[in-house]
Amino acid sequence: MPTTTTRPKSPPAEFQITSLIRSLCRDAELLPGEGRSELAAVAVAGEHLARNSGALIRGHVLPVTRAESGGLNTGSLAAGGAMVSTGSITLAEALQPVLMIERLGARRVQGQTGDQLVSSPGTVAGFWVGEDQDTPKSTAMFGASLRTPREAAVRIETSRRLWKQSGSISEQEFRAILQRSISETVEKGILNGSGANSEPMGLLQDQQLQRRTYSGGQLPTRARAGELVAEIAEAGADVDSITMLVSSADYDAGQAGSSPVVEITADGRRRIGGVPCAFSPFIPSGNVIVADWSRIAIKYVGPPQLTVNPYTKSDSGILELTLFQQVSYAVERRELLTVATVES
């Protein structure tokens, strides 16, 4: 009998955002077929999003769930933010980058559209039992935080001439620009957003969180750092997940003097009073967030969307690109996060 040989399907070509933009601009220099598969993938992603009631469609919907073989993954945590070769990545990894607070333990959740419910699991008790004894009942309580997502937008102005020349702008370079811009916008909003003018209410501005003070300098003393950690540890925090996030502006103050507050241990980690610490440029001087970061959930709501505007500033040769991403976050247990401020 004749045998039929089935050839394995070849993996799809890597999604090229640069090719998509060039095809939307209808550049005369487009290579044969360039941007065709990207336009088809964007059309499918847009149709899928449109099926969700309440979906806000601003532009071209990027298919973040699409798997890509090979290529470069920018901003890899394992590479310290450098570009590394990977076997399989998704577009989401390039356009929804790892935030600093995720590296501290915050969880990421991918959601759909509209207001989002983030579950808050309670503590379940365990028991010892003997022969012929019933196991005592334990009720698992789940709460939920309703969060309305806020929309972050990154607008980039770039030379129109560069986009007319195929290969002038590297795909990985352009992804890195988008990645860096969106991560800074999202992280700044989560940490210190005002809650007004479409910004989210940041952790530092949330008056429902525990608030404490400290004295003696821009950073807590070793003794005060221990007290702040002990308070949330007693409330049920995982001690190994507790990290102090402090202002980058206070790094020099922590290194000054013969007995610096900030210590660098043999493993290269920085600590305050033995507690792991990290520095953020989005926290004002004299402020510290002490948290079990594993109890914070960051939710990217829906896929990112891109608008391409070659018209508004065409006289000056400028191409305008805007990337939109809806984001929400929730603190599962408020007693496991403390905002500490230096006494005035």
User: What are 134-178's pLDDT values in tens digits?
Assistant: 766 655 544 555 567 889 999 988 888 777 665 567 787 888 888
pLDDT attached to residue 6: 54
The phi, psi pair for 157, rounded to 5°, reads -105, 130
Radius of gyration of the chain (CA): 24
* Cβ(284)–Cβ(329) below 8 Å: no
Per-residue pLDDT of 14-44, as tens digits, reads 788 888 888 888 766 667 777 888 899 899 9
Looking at 31-35, 58-62, 97-101, 233-237, which range is the least confident one? 31-35
Q: Whole-angstrom Cα distance, residue 163 to residue 181?
A: 20
Mean pLDDT of the chain: 79
- What are 281's two structure tokens? 């440029």
pTM: 0.78
Q: Does the 105-119+141-344 domain belong in CATH 3.30.2400.10?
A: yes
pLDDT in tens, 135-147: 666 555 445 555 6
- Residue pLDDT, tens place only, 259-312: 567 888 888 888 888 899 999 999 999 999 999 999 898 988 888 899 999 888
The DSSP result for 252-314, as a single string, is: HHHH-SSS-SEEE-TTS-EEETTEEEEEETTS-TTEEEEEEGGGEEEEEEEEEEEEEESSTTG
d(CA 298, CA 323): 19
